[in-house]
């Protein structure tokens, strides 16, 4: 089949601007072949090249004594002592999940798991952060059901526990849902595998499942806005097979023990193209591939299709040729393809052969290092206008409005579809705050959380960025974990709009400041731009996942409130209602500024919780819904009534930051008060647990009635 003629329309269909195509002509000194155009399109799209975000990502803090490997590899790596490391990352699969919810979400989980075990780490935990349109939008129910089924279907079959996450609804996501998938794995700190190729003339080996036409052009599609041609993009969504991936992981783990692996890279976005180019570029080598040797599951595949296919469950590695027989035997044992498809070369070339024809011959380093880098125009987000008065609300009516919303109702329907107990080391399952997984065979545990409040980021990107990091820090501290590091998933609209780029720049400023102040460097991450449909962008959603260490599980804060427990509030309350959950759910308003984040106070309060965890039975941070929602959730989890002394709306529902709610016995409360005085932090009694009612000020309702609302509202909203 002859290659199509390179036209302006074809160039545009590949997501390349005219000036970018001119740069390609300058680099190679001729018109590209169709396959070469596809390769440049894959390597230079936003999803792979980060061309709009590189400038700002460089300013993020990525180093620390706990960091073994920061951004630039398949995943980040942090030291947890005793010669062990946690490998983790979060990535988006937004566009595919909107087009094909089940497979989009499933392959998002599969891709992030490969990022982890590619580095030699066995996955021990997964999370997901999901953002959908309004619950009553005609497409939302289909998306929620499909995405949740896809996440569970892949993770459960693969055999990794899903231990946490978040689900939100907002009309801004009506045409563009967000599916952010996180995975973490355990490895020996001295046995991490990297992707940089080394050695000339070394075999390049294809591993795993066969290549098909699914996902061709997926990375380019993920770097474009949606419009009314969305249904035509369905073929660019990959199809996943978790059972093949499970075998691939076991084969890779066994292979790594043989010493045969020089470098290894999973085939994710842009498939064979991106994996080969990244391996060569990091190792300052060229790569030659012979596509006739690539295992194919469909007939008559072209070079273009093979190079851009995003078929799942595939890896690429550089092999020690002396151990080829041992390596091949491992993959034959696991009934997976093992094919030598090329070699490393000294020249800086990316050479693609198919049917004895040269389909591509490009300077390899230019594909990566010469990718466009833009300093896009941006404008700061204007300061929020002063907020109009918020009428007072009956406290129980306000609470009912929150817990009957799918945003704040219990998410049991979601996480009960996920296996959170597989592998037998999950200490704390979803729905109770940060997830906790024991490090098998030890007394140590690792805690995981995922957080962002998009309405804060839209109102004030700097404070919203800070708040996402701070809330993740609080969620880890609330279970007694020492926060170690973070990964981010930066979901924004069209960066070519200065106001959207301004949101991105502001959020990164806030994230960077918070990560420095709270000693939680960013070790991996993902940028997802162009999350727009017909010109309508999503809320800026820079998701932060954080990982924390519990040195001994006996020190974890895992209890629940009991009858007679005192309720203590750590931190200052001013009653900030701007951009609050109460404002949105009761008054249908989104005005005012985001709450201010005092990073010094955040650090001091986290230190106080961890230092005094022996005195604390149960603990939660205060976030959406403020004191009222936090107190109710503690009571609901424990099955015991609660009463709060406060009755005014700002105190009950304000969302001031840096605060924790503590449940403990009276004598421990006295000891905590003394410790707070010595530490110079604000701690006060705000209520007590007991009885069967929830009483806020002069208003009350039976806990059983509120629990029924809390536990049924999410299911009702999306069915």
Residues annotated catalytic, as ranges: 47, 93
Distances, alpha carbon 631 to alpha carbons 412, 529, 624, in Å: 19, 37, 12
Sheet strands (E) in 235-336: 261-266, 286-290, 314-319
Return the ∠ at Cα 541 (arms to 540 and 544), rounded to 5°: 145
Q: Edge-to-edge, what's the strand order for the sheet holding 178-188? A: 67-69, 76-81, 84-92, 178-188, 122-132, 162-169
CA distance 15 to 43: 11
CA–CA dist 437, 420 (Å, integer): 10
What's the gap between Cα 657 and its chain centre? 23
**Spacing of C-alpha 399 from chain mean position:** 30
3-class state of residue 634 by DSSP: helix
Nearest-angstrom CA–CA distance, 571 and 664: 17
Instruction: Count the neighbouring beta carbons within 10 Å of the beta carbon of residue 554.
Output: 10
Counting Cα atoms < 13 Å in the Cβ hemisphere of 708 gives 4
Please give the DSSP secondary-structure letter assigned to residue 613: G
Spell out the SS3 assignment of 333-377.
Answer: HCCCEEEEEEEEECCCCEEEEECCEEEEEECHHHHHHCCCCCCCC
At 193, list the tokens.
């595998």
| Residue 563 neighbours by CB distance under 10 Å | 13
Could you tell me which residues are beta bridge partners of residue 165?
128
What whole-number distance in Å separates Cα of residue 238 and Cα of residue 212? 10
Distance CA 95, CA 87 (A): 26
What end-to-end distance do the CA atoms of the chain give, in Å?
A: 49
The DSSP bridge partners found for residue 71 are 73
Q: DSSP per residue over 497-526, as a string?
A: SHHHHHHHHHHHHHHHHHHHHTT--EEEEE
Greatest CA separation found in the chain? Answer: 83
H helix intervals, 599-643: 599-611, 626-638
Q: How far apart are CA 184 and CA 127, in angstroms?
A: 9
Which is nearest to 544 in space by CA: 507, 586, 594? 507
Sheet architecture: strand order including 203-208: 261-266, 314-319, 203-208, 337-345, 286-290, 350-354, 357-362
687/693 Cα distance (integer angstroms): 13
Token pair in block for residue 172: 């801004």
633 within 8 A of 709, measured Cβ to Cβ: no
Q: How far is CA 179 from CA 25, 104, 325, in A?
A: 37, 8, 40
Q: How many CA atoms lie within 13 A of 588 on its CB side?
A: 2
Distance between CA atoms of 389 and 403, rounded to whole angstroms?
Answer: 23
> Are 435 and 126 in contact, with CB atoms under 8 Å apart?
no
566-570 β-sheet, strand order = 618-621, 660-664, 566-570, 683-689, 642-644, 693-696, 699-702
């Amino acid at each position: 089949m002859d290659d199509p003629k390179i036209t302006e329309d074809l160039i545009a269909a590949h997501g390349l601007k005219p000036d970018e195509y001119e740069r390609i002509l300058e680099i190679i000194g001729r018109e590209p072949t169709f396959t070469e155009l596809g390769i440049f399109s894959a390597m230079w799209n936003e999803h792979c090249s980060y061309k709009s975000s590189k400038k700002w990502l460089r300013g993020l803090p990525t180093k620390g004594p706990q960091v073994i490997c920061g951004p630039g590899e398949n995943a980040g790596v942090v030291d947890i002592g005793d010669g062990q490391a946690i490998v983790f990352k979060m990535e988006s699969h937004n566009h595919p999940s909107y087009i094909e919810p089940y497979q989009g979400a499933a392959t998002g989980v599969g891709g992030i798991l490969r990022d982890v075990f590619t580095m030699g780490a066995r996955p021990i935990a997964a999370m997901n952060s999901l953002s959908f349109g309004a619950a009553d939008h005609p497409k939302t129910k289909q998306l929620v059901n499909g995405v949740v089924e896809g996440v569970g279907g892949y993770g459960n079959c693969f055999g990794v526990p899903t231990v946490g996450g978040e689900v939100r609804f907002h009309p801004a996501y009506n045409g563009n849902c967000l599916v952010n998938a996180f995975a973490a794995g355990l490895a020996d700190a001295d046995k991490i595998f990297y992707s940089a190729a080394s050695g000339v003339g070394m075999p390049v080996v294809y591993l795993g499942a066969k290549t098909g036409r699914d996902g061709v052009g997926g990375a380019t599609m993920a770097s474009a806005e949606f419009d009314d041609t969305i249904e035509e993009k369905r073929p660019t969504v990959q199809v996943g097979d978790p059972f093949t991936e499970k075998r691939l992981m076991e084969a890779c783990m066994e292979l790594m023990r043989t010493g045969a692996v020089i470098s290894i890279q999973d085939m994710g976005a842009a498939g064979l193209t991106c994996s080969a180019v990244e391996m060569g570029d990091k190792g300052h080598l060229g790569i030659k591939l012979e596509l006739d040797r690539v295992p194919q599951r469909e007939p008559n595949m072209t070079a273009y299709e093979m190079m851009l296919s995003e078929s799942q469950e595939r890896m690429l590695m550089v092999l020690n040729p002396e151990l080829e027989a041992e390596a091949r035997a491992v993959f034959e044992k696991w009934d997976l393809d093992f094919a030598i498809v090329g070699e490393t070369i000294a020249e800086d070339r990316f050479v693609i052969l198919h049917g004895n024809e040269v389909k591509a011959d490009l300077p390899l380093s230019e594909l990566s290092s010469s990718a466009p880098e833009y300093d896009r125009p941006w404008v700061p987000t204007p300061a929020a206008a002063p907020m109009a008065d918020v009428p007072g609300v009956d406290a129980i009516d306000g609470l009912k409005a929150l817990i009957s919303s799918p945003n704040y109702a219990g998410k049991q329907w979601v996480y009960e579809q996920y296996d959170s107990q597989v592998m037998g080391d999950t200490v704390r399952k979803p729905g109770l705050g940060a997830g906790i997984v024991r490090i098998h065979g030890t007394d140590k545990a690792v805690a995981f959380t995922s957080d962002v409040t998009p309405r804060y980021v839209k109102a004030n990107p700097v404070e919203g960025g800070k708040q996402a990091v701070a809330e993740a820090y609080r969620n880890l501290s609330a279970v007694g974990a020492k926060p170690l590091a973070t990964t981010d998933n930066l979901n924004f609209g069209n960066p070519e709009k200065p106001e959207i780029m301004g949101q991105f720049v502001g959020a990164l400023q806030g994230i960077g400041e918070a990560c420095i102040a709270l000693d939680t460097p960013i070790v991996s991450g993902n940028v997802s731009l162009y999350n727009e449909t017909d010109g309508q962008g999503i809320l800026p959603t820079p998701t932060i996942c954080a990982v924390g260490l519990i040195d001994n599980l006996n020190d974890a804060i895992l209890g629940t409130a009991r009858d007679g427990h005192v309720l203590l509030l750590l931190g200052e309350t001013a009653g900030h209602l701007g951009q609050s959950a109460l404002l949105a759910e009761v008054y249908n308003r989104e005005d005012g500024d985001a709450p201010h984040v005092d990073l010094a106070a955040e650090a001091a309060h986290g230190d106080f919780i961890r230092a005094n965890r022996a005195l604390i039975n149960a603990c939660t941070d205060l976030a959406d819904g403020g004191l009222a929602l936090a107190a109710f959730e503690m009571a609901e989890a424990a099955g015991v009534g609660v009463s709060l002394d406060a009755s005014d709306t700002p105190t009950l529902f304000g969302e001031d930051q840096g605060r924790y709610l503590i449940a403990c016995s009276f004598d421990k409360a006295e000891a905590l008060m003394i410790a707070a005085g010595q530490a110079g932090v604000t701690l006060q009694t705000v209520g007590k647990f007991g009885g069967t009612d929830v009483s806020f000020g002069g208003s009350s309702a039976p806990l059983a009635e509120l629990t029924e609302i809390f536990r049924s509202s999410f299911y009702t909203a999306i069915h």
